[in-house]
Amino acid sequence: MIHSLFIINSSGDVFLEKHWRSVVSRSVCDYYLEAQRANPYDVPPVIATPHHYLLSIQRGGVSFVAVCMQEISPLFVIEFLHRVVDIFQDYFSDCTETIIKENYVVVYELLDEMLDNGYPLATESNILKELIKPPNILRTIANTVTGKSNVSGTLPSGQLSNIPWRRTGVKYTNNEAYFDVVEEVDAIIDKAGATVFAEIQGYIDCCIKLSGMPDLTLSFMNPRLFDDVSFHPCVRFKRWEAEKILSFIPPDGNFRLISYHISSQSVVAIPIYVRHNLSIKSGEQGRLDITVGPKQTLGRSVEGVKLEIMMPKCILNCVLTANQGKYNYDPVSKVLHWDIGRIDVAKLPNIRGSVSIASGANTAEINPSINVHFTINQLAVSGLKVNRLDINDPLNTSSKVEFSQ
């Protein structure tokens, strides 16, 4: 499957390489770097070379390039690369070039355990932490003095069972289960406020702290909303296909239970609106006026609002006044950033002022695009609703369950 893995920084230098099945020269990365130079913002995830296939992801300013010698399902490899980054973030709190370099030893130990002869072996965080202890100052000093490593001398307990994602003998004084339903809306809205295109990417993250070997069943009021779904390996897929019910024995700790996609064919109510106007007065002056407000939020507050206005190239500078938040304009990239924060319904955020236009510029088609980012807690835009959660607890202990959207 995967023969080698190369980790490349933003400068195009390979600062870490790991080989499993055979040693592949790092010169193979030239194909990836060439594609990156041709289009830095749209590198093909799969690059075919005369003798190899390069599959890559980019996260945190770092590129992870896996090298395969034969044809293979690309999504399988790409999913594994994302799992590698998630494990690094869980162990080191972030996944940047500096942090990876500071934890070279643990990184190589993790990669050794996550793949066996190029095939995935242990990819669950709770199982890996039984095998390789997360780094800390005291453990690092002790290992340096004694010459020991972070790797345990015994196999994780879950690896010896038919449920390899959960360790055995789990016991908690207080049994708790938390479910976070998170949805990200991507939409295109025209100047009149009509939705041209909208789709939703969602996922359910869990934090399970239950004793023993609990068996959970989660059902939804409207499971037909899902157009495309991917599951954690713990989910019983046949029952989902037959009844649209999630039945699973969960891992211990944090994990992503399900990722789903809702296409533009479903009605998506955008919970925020933007009124904007860029008019040209006379000569080399123009007027910009933007107002942001909430709609269809069911009483929930809109937070973390940020606007990126892609101004036309003829705009030289902006002199604006914002009644809420802060703004800055980059005359080089021609991007106006407006950080609003939380929307105050009593006084809607507004920014207005004059813009300077280059002399002789064609102002016939000045129509800037606006990117809007926002967060609404306790609201699922898709309308997804949880019906019930059943816990079959063999230890008969009381459990606490909490949902948030």
Instruction: Starting at the earlier edge strand, list the strands of the sheet with 245-248.
Output: 245-248, 215-220, 386-392
List C-alpha distances in Å: 392 to 214, 215, 249, 397, 399: 6, 5, 10, 10, 10
pLDDT at 85: 94
Which of 279, 277, 276 has the alpha carbon at shortest distance from 357? 279
pLDDT at 286: 81
- When pLDDT is averaged across residues 85-102 and rounded to a whole number, the result is 91
Which of 118, 6, 109, 105 has the alpha carbon at shortest distance from 70? 118
| Per-residue model confidence as pLDDT tens digits over 275-292 | 888 777 656 678 888 888
pLDDT at 65: 95
Cβ contact 6:15 at 8 Å: no
pLDDT at 362: 67
| Per-residue model confidence as pLDDT tens digits over 293-317 | 888 777 788 889 999 988 888 888 8
Cα maximum dimension of the chain: 79
pLDDT at 363: 64
Residue 14 reports pLDDT greater than 90:
yes
Q: How confident is the model at residue 151 (pLDDT cuts 50, 70, 90)?
A: confident
Both tokens assigned to 226: 């899902």
- When pLDDT is averaged across residues 168-183 and rounded to a whole number, the result is 88
Residue 90 reports pLDDT greater than 80:
yes
Q: Alpha-carbon distance 150 to 394, whole Å?
A: 34
Residue 360 reports pLDDT greater than 90:
no
Q: Alpha-carbon distance 204 to 396, whole Å?
A: 26
The larger pLDDT score, comparing residue 368 to residue 64, is at 64
pLDDT at 62: 93
Q: Alpha-carbon distance 264 to 177, whole Å?
A: 32
| Per-residue model confidence as pLDDT tens digits over 27-61 | 999 999 999 999 888 899 999 999 999 999 999 88
In this predicted structure, which of 162-166, 266-270, 392-396 has the lowest mean pLDDT?
A: 392-396
The larger pLDDT score, comparing residue 287 to residue 192, is at 287
User: What's the DSSP call for residue 363?
Assistant: -
Q: How confident is the model at residue 197 (pLDDT cuts 50, 70, 90)?
A: confident
pLDDT at 157: 65
| Per-residue model confidence as pLDDT tens digits over 67-76 | 999 888 999 9
pLDDT at 237: 93
C-alpha Rg value of the chain to the nearest Å? 26
Average pLDDT, rounded, for the chain: 85
- When pLDDT is averaged across residues 388-394 and rounded to a whole number, the result is 80
Residue 266 reports pLDDT greater than 70:
no
Segments in 151-219 forming alpha helices (H): none
pLDDT at 27: 92
Cβ contact 220:389 at 8 Å: no
**Domains assigned to the chain:** 2-160 (3.30.450.60), 175-268+380-404 (2.60.40.1170), 272-376 (2.60.40.1170)
pLDDT at 147: 62
